[in-house]
Amino acid sequence: MKSIEIDRVSKRFRVKRYGTPSLFEVIKGFGTSAGQKRSFDALKNISLSIERGEKVGLIGRNGAGKTTLM
C-alpha cells in the first residue's frame, strides 16, 4: 500500500533582483537592468512513490530542492 505518491511535481520560483548587476552577470546576460525578474526550477517533473514502512532519505547539495520537495 502506497503511503505517499507524487507524480510530475514541479515548482518554479521567481526572484526579483535589485541593484546594479555584477560584471559577471552582465557578461552572462543576467541582471541587465535593476529590478529584473529571474526564475528557476526548484523541482521539475519529480515523481516518487513511498510504500508504507519504507525509509527514505534525501541527499543533495544546498539549494537542490530537498526542503521544497517535502
What confidence tens digit (pLDDT) does each residue in 1-41 have? 779 999 999 999 988 777 777 788 778 775 555 556 688 88
Q: Provide the residue ranges of all domains of the chain, joining segments of one domain with +.
A: 2-53
Residues 6+ apart with CB under 8 A from 3: 50, 51, 52, 54
Q: What is the pLDDT of residues 60-70, one digit of tens each?
A: 988 888 898 88
Give me the sign of the Cα torsion angle 15, 21, 22, 24: positive
Give me the sign of the Cα torsion angle 48, 10, 28, 21: negative
What would the mean pLDDT of 41-64 be, rounded to a whole number?
Answer: 91
Residue 33: predicted pLDDT: 54
Residue 35: predicted pLDDT: 54
Write phi, then psi, for 31 (nearest 5 degrees). 65, 35
Is the pTM higher than 0.75? no
